[in-house]
Amino acid sequence: MSNSVNISVVIITYNESSKIERCIQSVKEIADEVLVLDSFSTDNTVELAKQCGAKVFQHKFIGFTEQKNKAMELASHKYILSLDADEYVSEELKKSIQQIKLNWRADAYTFNRLNSFAGKWIKSCGWYPDAKIRLWNREKGRWQGGTLHEVVVMQSHTSCLHLTGDLLHEAFKGSEDLIKKMQLYSTLYANDHAFKKRVATLDIAGKYAAAWFKNYILKGGIKDGYEGFIISASNANGVLYKYAKLIEIMNNLRVSLIITTYNRKDALELVLLSIKEQAVLPIEVIVADDGSREDTKILLEHMAKNFPVPLVHSWQEDNGFRAARSRNVAMKKAIGEYIVMIDGDIVLNRFFIQDHIRNAAKGFYLQGSRVLLLDKKTKQAIHQKLIQFSFFSTGLKNRLNTIRSKFLSQLFSKENNNIYRVRSMNISFWKTDYEKINGFNNEFVGWGREDSEFAARMWHAGIKRKHIKFAAFGYHLYHNEQPRTALPQNQALLDKTIKEKLITCDNGLNQV
């Protein structure tokens, strides 16, 4: 019984006119089809590929992983040989592939890739053998990874064999080419890992030194003279660039701060004064006003004159306790990619916004802590315009929450998805996550359970809650409790969301 197979060679391209012909010509004798997926090249890559007999499709670049999967899906045959345009098959490897085409014996095959720098083939600095799966049955595996460092991942219980011969990769013409590639890859890495991975300045220094030593000494870069030195140094610089860019992306997060309020301008004034003293400012402050009297509007107009960021008054008619709708109305005005939301009686610690930024993570929303001010202390704070408190201040409850410590925060902050423990008086989230669940449910009128219902839909959408301790805290001014007459109907709304595992609500952000 014959085990011969047909192979589709797939290549993704963008402005590869100087390389594409050599790549295609090297597989002419082993390819039953050559398919090029081009990302709208501005040179004559497409024309050259067609002249060499390739089928050419075009698709907007969506990252190396998905672009290669897209190319694979367009192929006519299920056996795939995937190449980059700057690679070509050596004669020895060509013979190996010709043999296994006639007697296919595994689900996938690996072979070594030999990379060149400035015209010299490099077998040091970790560049060789660089063995990877590039020939496989597409029904048994596909590309996986982020926007870079993509690999073919096979299903469990599949077989893989190694072929002799090298895939030749004209990696870099010289140092300028190498530096450009390091800059590109470091940018892609930073974008791919932002708010997923964190690194400190001292960590970068250690990783930089370790990368240079590993490549130049342990992996033999020293044996390749000038080329080995430049490659080792560039690899180390790549580590420096990717982590520096990662930190800068996270430090430059655009944050909108939303403050809910209703007829309590004295407390709101203290909150706004504490915002002016923030170590890191939001890009805007939006006051979500649930129908306050004219005096709140006058206060905001006065403070907006010398406020360090835009101060926006988002007002809705007073028609009962409609905090959920008020937040949605304010969210419509927000321009930040990340939202911090507080109540209008939470005086912020000076590092409040900075701490929320530092702890922001994809797939999570954050719940900060609060320190309770007793009635007498609240009156004193309002009268004297006090916005700074400490562990030793009188008139505080939850005094331990005044301690700010990065070490303790990392130790005690943890995931907590108890929906009944969520308080929107101090939370933060990605705007896209808020939009995904359609925001707060406008059906909630009167105090109670709107926060828990919001948290339940976040959980159903796969967005987890992290409770931040010893950071991102505020001082909660005393007030009398709200009447709970609306609690039964609000509890019914929450029960429905839990029972039906709802992700969105019908009457939410989309209805304001």
- The topology under which CATH files domain 253-511 is Spore Coat Polysaccharide Biosynthesis Protein SpsA; Chain A (3.90.550)
User: Would you list the domain boundaries of the chain?
Assistant: 7-171, 175-250, 253-511
Environment class of residue 319 by beta-carbon count within 10 Å: exposed (0-12), middle (13-18) or buried (19+)? exposed
Residue of 400, 368, 371, 348 lying closest to 466 (CA atoms)? 368
Residue type, position 34, single letter: V
d(CA 58, CA 62): 12
Residues 300-357: tens digit of each pLDDT: 999 999 999 999 999 999 999 999 999 999 999 999 999 999 999 999 999 999 999 9
Q: Determine contact, residues 51/130, Cβ cutoff 8 Å.
A: no
Superfamily holding 7-171: Spore Coat Polysaccharide Biosynthesis Protein SpsA; Chain A (3.90.550.10)
| pLDDT of the residue at 264 | 96
Residues 26-74: tens digit of each pLDDT: 999 999 999 999 999 999 999 999 999 999 999 999 988 999 999 999 9
| pLDDT of the residue at 241 | 94
Is it true that 7-171 and 253-511 share their CATH fold? yes
Q: Angle 450-460/487-500 helices, nearest 10 degrees?
A: 10
| pLDDT of the residue at 1 | 41
On the question of pLDDT at 291 being above 80, the answer is yes
Task: Give the C-alpha distances (Å, rounded to integers) separating 214 from 183, 210, 231.
Answer: 20, 6, 12
Q: Determine contact, residues 81/9, Cβ cutoff 8 Å.
A: yes
Residues 178-234: tens digit of each pLDDT: 999 899 889 989 998 999 988 888 889 999 999 999 999 999 999 999 999 999 999
Residues 119-152: tens digit of each pLDDT: 999 999 999 999 999 999 999 999 998 766 789 9
| pLDDT of the residue at 501 | 97
d(CA 432, CA 360): 13
How many of the other CB atoms lie within 10 Å of CB of 458? 24
Residues 387-435: tens digit of each pLDDT: 999 999 999 999 999 999 999 999 999 999 999 999 999 999 999 999 9
